[in-house]
Amino acid sequence: MLSEALQVELHKTADEQKVKSIKVVVWDLDNTIWDGVLLEDDSVRLRAGVIDVIRELDRRGILQSVASKNDHATAMAKLKHFGIDEYFIYPQINWNAKSASIGQIATSINVGIDTLAFVDDQSFEREEVAFEHPDVLCLDETAVTGLLGWPEFNPRFITEDSTNRRLMYQSDIKRNDVEKEFTGPKDEFLATLGLELTLYTAAEDDLQRAEELTRRTHQLNTTGYTYSYDELKAFMKSPTHELIVAGLSDKYGTYGKIGLCLIERSETFWTLKLLLMSCRVMSRGVGAILIGHIINKARSSGVTLRAEFIRTDRNRMMFITYRLGGFSVLSESGDRVMLEHDCAAEQRYPDHVIVHVA
């Protein structure tokens, strides 16, 4: 029989699936962002109102890119002329199929293909994308004027991390470019970044971002659960729970609040109910540090640590993180796994990260 908590979670998930949350809008250019065909007429003009939509999507934390059949240098020069080139990350301006470009954008940003919307004036291009990627929301250019009112493009909260999301991704691009040129071992590269991880108990002004993390993070989420602001606030105030937030920065700037842990405490053992982190920090070893921190807290309290895990089609990496962190399988039923760590040994943090515990 399903627990009451799981029944509630399954019900919430079904409700949430009715409205798709869009993380990335991919734009065509000719007769979509601007009127006219650039290679036929260099004097193309921006479509009325489109720049306001682009800026507002950016403010809401919705990333944007381009999939256009065009000459790359010419199109980027025109976007720069209009003062909007900075809004688009990983632009795919080439002569490839639009579906291939959209697949590349999803891979580069590291988000699910079902979180993308594609805007194009050509029905052929929309149909080609829809055939290859049926989970992409495909829209014609006439939808742009009402786009900002659609629930898919209206996050529940607009946090500081939301408004800075594009800038943080652009910093990631710089880091990734430097990493590609680095020839030494991974640990040596990480040591050059000046990584600093801050771990602290959540306060009320963290809860909007905490809710956003549970709703946006699927790949690196140990249970797939989503929690509302009010649920998280109840956990924050509960004497038997602890909600921990993780923030990360390096010499290139801040990654923002990138991780969340929910612990349920009892006299003999603690249970890690949720562990998640942004996919942007997957390669920084943050998951192992978070787990190590919680193991040390449990160890100092004289208890063992358990961890709930629910398999999804995306989160296998988190199960591997638990196993590499020394957890053994205590019980298993279908997709639900309970793991346990004896907390016998103190966990050490890697040398390439400075960890601040507030």
Would you call 152 exposed, middle or buried from its count of C-beta atoms within 10 A (0-12, 13-18, 19+)? Answer: middle
CATH number for the domain whose boundaries are 187-357: 3.40.630.30
Residue 15: what pLDDT? 46
Give 273's contacts (C-beta < 8 A, 6+ positions apart): 223, 225, 262, 263, 264, 308
Residue 87: CB atoms within 10 Å: 20
Residue 202 DSSP class: -
Instruction: Dump strand ranges (E) for the chain.
Output: 24-27, 34-35, 45-46, 63-69, 92-94, 116-119, 137-139, 195-201, 241-250, 253-265, 269-277, 304-310, 328-333, 336-341, 353-357
- Which secondary structure element, helix H or strand E, spans residue 209, and what is its range? helix 207-216
Average pLDDT per run of 10 along the chain, which is 358 residues long? 39 50 96 96 94 97 97 97 97 98 95 95 97 97 94 92 93 91 91 95 94 84 90 95 95 93 95 91 87 95 96 89 94 95 94 92
The whole-angstrom separation of Cα 29 and Cα 191 is: 41
| Residue given tokens 């010419």 in the structure block | 74
Residue 281: CB atoms within 10 Å: 20
Q: Tell me the chain's radius of gyration from C-alpha atoms.
A: 22
| Residue given tokens 């929690």 in the structure block | 227
| Residue given tokens 């004036």 in the structure block | 121
Residue 5: CB atoms within 10 Å: 10
Residue 21 DSSP class: P
The whole-angstrom separation of Cα 29 and Cα 121 is: 9
Cα dihedral 147→31→25→84 (10° resolution)? -100
| Residue given tokens 């390439």 in the structure block | 352
Would you call 340 exposed, middle or buried from its count of C-beta atoms within 10 A (0-12, 13-18, 19+)? Answer: middle
Backbone angles phi, psi at 172, to 5 degrees: -60, -40
187 within 8 A of 179, measured Cβ to Cβ: no
Residue 267: what pLDDT? 92
Residue 216: what pLDDT? 80
The residue type at 297: K
CATH-assigned architecture of domain 22-153: 3-Layer(aba) Sandwich (3.40)
Residue 128: what pLDDT? 98
Residue 19: what pLDDT? 63
Domains of the chain, by residue range, sit at 22-153, 187-357
The whole-angstrom separation of Cα 327 and Cα 338 is: 10
Give 124's contacts (C-beta < 8 A, 6+ positions apart): none
The residue type at 5: A
Residue 279: what pLDDT? 82
148 within 8 A of 54, measured Cβ to Cβ: no
Question: Is residue 227 classed as helix, strand or coil in its secondary structure?
Answer: coil
The whole-angstrom separation of Cα 25 and Cα 21 is: 11
